[in-house]
Structures are given as C-alpha cells and as structure tokens.
C-alpha cells in the first residue's frame, strides 16, 4: 500500500501538469480580454524576451535630419545630427494564487472531480489577474491617483505605469515618464484637449481636431480609440442623429465596437475621468483616448509570461498552492502620436 503522502504528491503533479497544458490558453484569454493588450499585440509591439536587463529601453527620435540644397562643387554639410535618446521603463511583476485545501481534495476525490475543481479554481485566478492587469493599466493607483502606478498595500511593490500617465490630461506637469521629464522637453508631450462642446456637431469637430493633431508626422493617425461607457453611448447617439453607420469588421477585433475614421472605438468600464483625475466615470465629464499602438512597446519575460508555478504542499499545511506569474514592462516611444480629450459632456442630446 502506498504511503498516504503519495496521494498529495500525485495530486500536486496532476494539478501542475494540467495547469501547464492550459498555459497558452491562459495567455490568449488575458490578452484578448484587455483591449489595450490586444491592440499592442495585434500591431506587433508585444515581445517575449529571454534576458530583461535592468530596465526596458525604448529608443526615441525627437529630431529628424536637417536637409539642405547644394549646387555643383558646394561643400556638403557633415554636421552630425542630435535628436536621439532613450526612454527607460522599470520591470514590474504580478502574481495570483491557485490553492486547493486537503478537505477540498477529499470532497472532490477522483481524478475527474479534482480536475473539475481545478478548472473552477483556475478560472477564478484567471479572472482575477485579467481584471488586475486591465484595471491597473487604466486607473493606476485609483481614486484620485490615476497617473500613479499601483502600489501593493501588502508589500509596497509597484506595478506597470498606467495609461493616464503615458497619455496625460496635463502633459506639462513636472513628471518623469520613461525617465524623461515632460515639463522639460516639449517634444515628450502627448496631445490633449478639454471638451467644451454643447452639441453633437461640436463634439464631433473636437474629435476631428484632436485626431489631426495626433496624425501629424510619420506613423499615421490613431488606430485605437478607447473611451468610457458614457462617451461610447454619446458617440453612438451622435452618429445615429446623422444616420451614419461606421461598421467595423468584427472578426478583426474581439470587442463590440463602432468606428472613427475606420478605426475601432471601444469602451472599458475602467477608463477613468481624466478631467477630475478620478477612477469614477462621470456622466458630465467623459474621456476619449486616441492611441497609436504602433509606438507602444510591451516586453514580457519568456519564463514569466503568465506562467503557472508547480502546485506545492508545504510540510506544515494541508493545502496545495501554486501561482500565475507575470514579469514585464510597457512603455510609449512617441507620446506626440497619442491624444486625450477630457471633460466630454455626455448629457448632450442634439
């Protein structure tokens, strides 16, 4: 007869193997459940790397070559161009536990039933880390600190820099983004506008103007528009009033969406109120992010790309515990191609 501890050992091995087999599905579920993640990955800015170095480095070009005319035997200029630098973003980590107690194992005895229990536990952990990553990318520390990265109350660790920091409602404040102070360098500022529209027509004009500002220069116009729920409803209403139907190919992005200049407009419950600097969405102060994901970078450590750790039973506990781990960094390499419209009055009716 086998030693009783082999039951725990076998279950731990069974659980660990099952979780590893599910790992690719987990990664796909996480990236397709987060519109920002999905779009970065879709446009090739997602990179899995083996060696991370001290920080993630993104090269920046803030000046272009200075051309000039010449004639015949004129001397050609050999003055080297400046205008190259780098932004640096810190690596950040996250984890979510998967735990099964001894009594849960006994109540769900048999391989089939224990795998059913594991499926539920896995879904619980998966939903937890999806919401954590999505929420903290959009509202940072939350409350009135949406431009500040989330810091764990348990251990003080810091997570990824949030979207409202990279695409700031006030990009002139003295804040370092990617280790570069936006107040010092005007070329390191995103486009921003405060909505004052009182009609649908004026609101649409504000959108067109902001899009033109972000369109200038190489790289094209924004390819993703991220809004809160109230602004999404307002935009739909404005389009309906003009009998427009800007359909978007649903097979191309797994979200319900409409379009602005043929690019998807998607809503998220965690898009903050940037005018108030609050995580709480408002019916009188909506937010519209215009993003060019071609200039975003997301690097993830290959061995910690939402991976499962083995399920382990400690000597002093009647439970098996594993984790889903993440290690990565995200950053923007051209903030001038990003825009934010804040203060959108979503009570407009005509």
The predicted-structure confidence for 239-272, as pLDDT tens digits, reads as follows 988 766 666 555 466 777 789 999 999 899 999 9
Evaluate if residue 106 carries a pLDDT over 90: no
Q: Is 286 among the domain residues?
A: yes
99-103, 144-148, 277-281: least confident range: 99-103
Q: What is the CATH number of the domain that holds 244?
A: 3.30.2320
3-state DSSP assignment of residue 301: strand
The predicted pLDDT at position 122 comes to 83
Q: Is 115 among the domain residues?
A: no
Asked if residues 279 and 272 have their Cβ atoms less than 8 Å apart, the reply is yes
The predicted pLDDT at position 265 comes to 92
3-state DSSP assignment of residue 123: helix
99 burial via Cβ count (<10 Å: 0-12, 13-18, 19+) = middle
337 burial via Cβ count (<10 Å: 0-12, 13-18, 19+) = buried
Higher per-residue pLDDT: 141 or 32? 141
The predicted pLDDT at position 228 comes to 96
Which residues, at least 6 apart from 178, have a Cβ–Cβ distance to it below 8 Å?
58, 87, 88, 89, 331, 332
β-bridge mates for residue 47, sequence order: 299
DSSP state letter for 75: P
Two tokens, residue 202: 């004026």
Give the phi and the psi of residue 169 in degrees, each rounded to 5.
-65, -35
- Degrees, nearest 5: CA angle 222-223-227: 85
Q: Is 79 among the domain residues?
A: no
pLDDT bin (cut points 50, 70, 90) of residue 1 is very low
Angle between helices 35-42 and 5-32 (to 10 degrees): 70
Q: For the residues 86-96, what does the mean pLDDT come to?
A: 94
Q: Check: pTM over 0.75? Answer yes or no.
A: yes
Q: Is 198 among the domain residues?
A: yes
Q: Is 209 among the domain residues?
A: yes
Residue 207: domain span? 191-296+334-344
pLDDT digits (tens, 9 = 90+) for 279-292: 999 989 999 999 99
SS (H, E, C) 252-297: HCCCCCEEECCEEEEECCCCCECCCCECCCCCCCEEEEEECHHHEE
β-strands 180-181, 191-194 pairing? unpaired
- Degrees, nearest 5: CA angle 141-210-287: 35
Residue 54 CA to its chain's centroid (Å): 21
Higher per-residue pLDDT: 49 or 171? 171
pLDDT bin (cut points 50, 70, 90) of residue 205 is very high
pLDDT bin (cut points 50, 70, 90) of residue 5 is very low
Higher per-residue pLDDT: 61 or 218? 218
Q: What is the rounded CA–CA span in Å between residue 146 and residue 281?
A: 12
Radius of gyration of the chain (CA): 24
Q: Is 118 among the domain residues?
A: no
Q: For the residues 193-214, what does the mean pLDDT come to?
A: 97
Q: Is 200 among the domain residues?
A: yes
β-bridge mates for residue 339, sequence order: 191, 290
Two tokens, residue 96: 């979510």
Sign of CA dihedral 251, 298, 308, 21: positive
Q: Is 215 among the domain residues?
A: yes
Q: For the residues 110-119, what does the mean pLDDT come to?
A: 78
Q: What is the rounded CA–CA span in Å between residue 157 and residue 175?
A: 20
The domain tally of the chain equals: 1
Q: What is the rounded CA–CA span in Å between residue 102 and residue 15?
A: 13
């Amino acid at each position: 007869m086998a030693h009783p501890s082999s039951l725990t050992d076998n279950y731990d091995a069974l659980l660990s193997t099952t979780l590893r087999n599910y790992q690719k599905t987990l990664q796909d579920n996480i990236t397709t459940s987060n519109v920002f993640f999905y779009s970065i990955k879709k446009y090739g800015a997602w990179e899995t790397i083996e060696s991370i170095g001290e920080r993630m480095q993104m090269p920046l070009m803030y000046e272009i070559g200075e051309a000039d005319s010449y004639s015949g035997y004129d001397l050609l200029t050999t003055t080297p161009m400046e205008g190259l630098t780098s932004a640096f973003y810190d690596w950040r980590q996250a984890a979510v536990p998967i735990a099964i107690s001894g009594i849960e194992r006994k109540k769900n005895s048999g391989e089939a039933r224990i795998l059913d229990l594991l499926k539920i536990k896995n879904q619980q952990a998966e939903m937890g880390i999806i919401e954590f990553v999505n929420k903290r990318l959009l509202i940072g520390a939350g409350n009135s600190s949406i431009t500040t990265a989330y810091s764990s109350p348990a251990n003080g660790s810091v997570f990824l820099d949030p979207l409202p920091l990279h695409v700031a409602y006030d990009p002139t404040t003295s804040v370092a983004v990617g280790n570069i102070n936006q107040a010092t360098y005007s070329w390191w500022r995103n486009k921003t506008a405060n909505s004052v529209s009182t009609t649908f027509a004026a609101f649409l004009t504000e959108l067109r103007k902001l899009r033109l500002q972000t369109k200038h220069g190489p790289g094209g116009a924004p390819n993703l528009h991220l809004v809160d729920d109230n602004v999404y409803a307002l935009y739909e209403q404005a389009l309906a009033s003009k009998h427009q139907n800007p359909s978007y190919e649903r097979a191309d992005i797994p979200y319900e969406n409409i379009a602005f200049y043929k690019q998807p407009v998607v809503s998220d419950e965690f898009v903050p109120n940037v005018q108030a600097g609050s995580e709480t969405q408002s019916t009188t102060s909506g937010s519209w992010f215009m993003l060019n994901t071609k200039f975003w970078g997301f690097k993830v450590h290959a061995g910690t790309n939402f991976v499962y750790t083995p399920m382990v039973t400690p000597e002093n506990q009647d439970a098996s515990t594993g984790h889903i781990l993440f290690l990565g960094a995200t950053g923007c390499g051209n903030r001038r191609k990003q825009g934010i419209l804040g203060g959108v009055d979503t009570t407009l009716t005509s």
